[in-house]
Amino acid sequence: MLARAEGLHVWDSQGQRYLDATSGAFCVQLGYSRPDLVRVMAEAASRLPHAKPTQFDSEESAAYRRELLHAAGPPYTSAILTSSGSEAVEVALKVAYRYQRAVGHPERKAIRYLSGHYHGATLGALGVTGLGSRRAPYEGLVGMGPSAAPASSEGNGSEAAAMILETLPAVGLGAPVPHLGFLSLIRSQCDEAGALWIADEVLTGFGRVGALFAWQRLGDRGAPNGSKPDSGARPDVVVFGKGAGAGFAPLAGVLIAKVVSRALDDDGFTHFQTYAGNPIACAVGRRVLKAMSEERIDASVRAAEPWLEDELRRLTTLRPVSQVRGIGYLRGIELMEDRRFVRPYPPEQRVAEKVAEACRERGVLVHAGIGSVDGARGDFILIAPPLVARNVDFKTIVDALSGAITSVLG
């Protein structure tokens, strides 16, 4: 039971303090108990706590959509707000279906997705999730089409309404960084099939990897020959959440490219939810965007990357650590029984869980994952500290990880 929090730390009801190296549920981007965010919540609540979405907009909601679209830049011209990432994914699926109908292709209904990618806890989001451990208990209820590439040359591509993927797959695969050219490949395959590219940035957005969204950061990467093979690859729909409200308010949604938005308008598409665009949440979202700009969060994350990488490199001297990977403040540590032959630990040993528990005993909270090798095997630890963490915090996190891995695995 958590009792209070401040900065990078949380305290349980027994008074034990922990450094939160996962930013809560990967959402407390700017740290806990920030006075500026508390203040704007109170001010917004005192003015207008709610506006019925089917009848009214609010100044906070309209301003947030406008400011977010400005921050994201072209080609996005409209935003639909929700209160969670799972709901936002479902809105994106509705958008894809209605877009295909609007442009004269109602037969395109399948949603392609990738193995190991997680898109949310609601049934529609689970239906496009490639993470077996989350999907399996509801297999009889879910299903939006097979896991496959969208292009017609890959089979049944003409039936694809969209392709959804995590730009940087985290909880299912442990934050592997896509190779150069991957985003351009997705863009070209979607274009070939007439399918939309839906980028799931729920976990990776709002500075987590040193940019507003991960697809922007990956597009900036240069090849050895000086080219940037992914620089022109832009998703049609961007799903966001988590860090948008910085852990202070439930705020999520989708950004929609101009060509898609126009088609939806022509088709009369609308979407309303009770707490969508809630004025209090949007006031928080506006302050988050302003704080990220004022404090140059994206630049500070990129500047601090070498410190984090240097600390994490210490873990590679431990026999069970096969790989440390990721970008920005999202990193995965993969654990192998034999890293030379890529032999994972048996799932029944619950290795990642035991390491996470040992970290907790050392006062650091991390995330345990499994399935990065084949969906059932492959233990890993995720860390994603608040974006205000610095070198001394990285050292604390890695010291705890090193001690935990050694105590659990030798």
Give, to the nearest 10 degrees, the angle between helix 35-47 and helix 279-294: 150
Query: What is the average per-residue pLDDT within 318-340?
Result: 96
pTM of the model: 0.95
In the predicted model, is pLDDT for residue 66 greater than 60? yes
Lowest-pLDDT range of 19-23, 221-225, 306-310: 221-225
In the predicted model, is pLDDT for residue 204 greater than 90? yes
Largest CA distance in the chain: 62
DSSP-based three-state secondary structure for 331? strand
For the stretch 272-301, pLDDT in tens is 999 999 999 999 999 999 999 999 999 999
Are the CB atoms for 218 and 167 separated by under 8 Å? yes
pLDDT category at 373 given cuts 50, 70, 90 is very high
In the predicted model, is pLDDT for residue 146 greater than 70? no
pLDDT at 152: 40
pLDDT at 410: 87
Are the CB atoms for 372 and 335 separated by under 8 Å? no
Query: What is the average per-residue pLDDT within 11-19?
Result: 97
In the predicted model, is pLDDT for residue 261 greater than 50? yes
Mean pLDDT computed over every residue of the chain = 94
pLDDT at 153: 38
pLDDT category at 143 given cuts 50, 70, 90 is low
Lowest-pLDDT range of 63-77, 154-168, 254-268: 154-168
- Return the bridge partners of 310, or none: none
pLDDT at 395: 98
pLDDT at 339: 86
The H-assigned helical ranges of 5-84 are 23-26, 35-47, 59-72
Percent of the chain with pLDDT over 90: 91
Are the CB atoms for 196 and 163 separated by under 8 Å? yes
Query: What is the average per-residue pLDDT within 220-249?
Result: 96
Sheet containing 110-112, strands listed edge to edge, beginning at the edge strand earlier in sequence: 76-82, 252-257, 237-240, 196-200, 160-166, 110-112
pLDDT category at 397 given cuts 50, 70, 90 is very high
Query: What is the average per-residue pLDDT within 188-196?
Result: 96
pLDDT at 155: 45
CA torsion angle for 284, 287, 293, 297 (degrees, to 10)?
-50
pLDDT at 234: 97
pLDDT category at 136 given cuts 50, 70, 90 is confident
In the predicted model, is pLDDT for residue 42 greater than 70? yes
pLDDT at 132: 85
